[in-house]
């Protein structure tokens, strides 16, 4: 039986939120676009999701540490909005 673990980094209450999703695909364009938007808006990470139902892959960071593939949720509050 598989597992799914949700790690809440920050408790966020959002109103009238818009979800923007960037998935890896051909040329990794969706993922790259989402990463660019996160960096440009200085969005904050609020959640990580780990699951055995994700593709069986790992990532190796710059320090050589192996990490499970995960989904990350970020948020950004626009001017005068939450």
- Whole-model pTM? 0.81
Q: Is 33 left (phi over 0), alpha (psi -120 to 50) or beta?
A: alpha
Distance between CA atoms of residues 7 and 48, nearest Å: 5
Average pLDDT over residues 48-68: 93
Q: Evaluate if residue 82 carries a pLDDT over 60.
A: no
Average pLDDT over residues 14-27: 85
**Per-residue pLDDT band at 80 (split at 50, 70, 90):** low
Q: Which residues contact 53 (CB under 8 A, 6 or more apart)?
A: 2, 4
Per DSSP, the chain holds a count of helices (H) and strands (E) of: 1, 5
């Amino acid at each position: 039986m598989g597992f799914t673990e949700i790690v809440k980094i920050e408790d966020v209450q959002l109103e009238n939120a818009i979800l923007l999703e960037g998935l890896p695909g051909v040329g990794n364009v969706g993922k790259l676009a989402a990463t660019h938007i996160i960096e440009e808006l200085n969005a904050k990470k609020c959640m990580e999701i780990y699951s055995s139902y994700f593709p069986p892959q790992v990532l190796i960071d710059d320090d050589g540490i192996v990490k499970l593939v995960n989904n990350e949720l970020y948020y950004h509050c626009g001017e005068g909005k939450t």
